[in-house]
Amino acid sequence: MHGLVIKNTGSWYTVKTDDGEMVECKIKGNFRLKGIRSTNPVAVGDKVSIVRNNEGTALITDIDDRKNYIIRKSPNLSKQSSILAANIDQAFLIVTVAHPETSTTFIDRFLAGAEAYRVPVTLVFNKTDLLDDDELRYQKMMINLYDSIGYKCIETSLAPATTAGPSATADDDRLRAFETGIATISKDIEGKVTLLSGNSGVGKSTLINRLIPGAGRKTAEISDAHDTGMHTTTFSEMLELPSGGYIIDTPGIKGFGTFDIERTELTSYFREIFKFSADCRFSNCTHTNEPGCAVKKAVADHYIAESRYNSYLSMLDDKDESKYREAF
């Protein structure tokens, strides 16, 4: 039998067969011995072969070749990886400039990882309704930055604007985000397999409940003490969209450690850095201390954002996940 892995609950996987039947499966005993350095060699989105047993469950015996996947370092096992999802058409990274704040380091690491595995990314700036005027201006600056690099950005909020700020223009922006954000997202995900990711507390579960009526995803309040979110999604799961396609809901993550990206390749995954690197004096320039570095000049001349360059440097040498969990 053949099917699609739509849910992972640790040792058990829910597979939707090609005939539409749901089967609970485990991995065949020697499956983990094939050199896969991952805490989850089978991921949500994988297309697999299964063999039924007498107990009504099945064993996963093989995985089809993957089109792509999103992978990160396992939080507690530095030499192993964790595959968030496989065979996806696009990823939506949900970010918030406040309540809680998503660091630019986290955003840039996710984008670089997606570039490495050829996954298009849209940035969704959520909770626009909660921003004061200064925060709203900062969000506009962030959107201008990532839009100029070539990443689509969507502003949204999950509640109507409530005239939180003194500026009528700001209130118009908040209301526009509420009215158009969900509609834009709904159109962009129709008929596609879309990964939703982001820090805990950015509103992924609430967004899914808006996009899929009856999804019933758990939500939680932000911690007042730390302005951080709490985990409400424990395992990855594919949720079918009414208009066709799937959303892959993933647990909120604090840090995004890239895996299997070589130092010599890293420049390629920062689009604007790669563009300017063509003019570096040395072809193997790391854009750190070399003379004649066009990238460092572009940073000094403000053609490359300093935050993006700092993210690049942190990924170049950083092997300790704890170093990038803090916001810049």
Which residue type occupies 152?
Answer: K
| C-alpha–C-alpha distance, residues 147 and 14, integer Å | 38
Which domains are assigned to the chain? Answer: 2-63 (2.40.50.140), 69-249 (3.40.50.300), 266-324 (1.10.40.50)
Per-residue pLDDT of the chain (328 residues; tens, 9 = 90+): 999 999 998 889 999 999 999 999 998 766 654 555 666 789 999 999 999 999 889 999 999 999 998 887 655 545 567 788 999 999 999 999 998 999 999 999 999 989 988 999 999 999 998 999 999 999 999 999 999 999 999 999 876 555 444 455 666 666 666 668 888 999 999 999 999 999 989 999 889 988 888 776 665 554 444 444 444 456 889 999 988 999 999 876 655 555 567 788 899 999 999 999 999 999 999 999 999 999 999 999 999 999 999 999 999 876 444 444 443 3
Q: How many residues does the chain have?
A: 328
Beta-strand pair 22-27/13-17: antiparallel
Beta strands in 187-288 (DSSP E): 193-197, 237-240, 246-249
Start-to-end C-alpha separation, the chain: 49
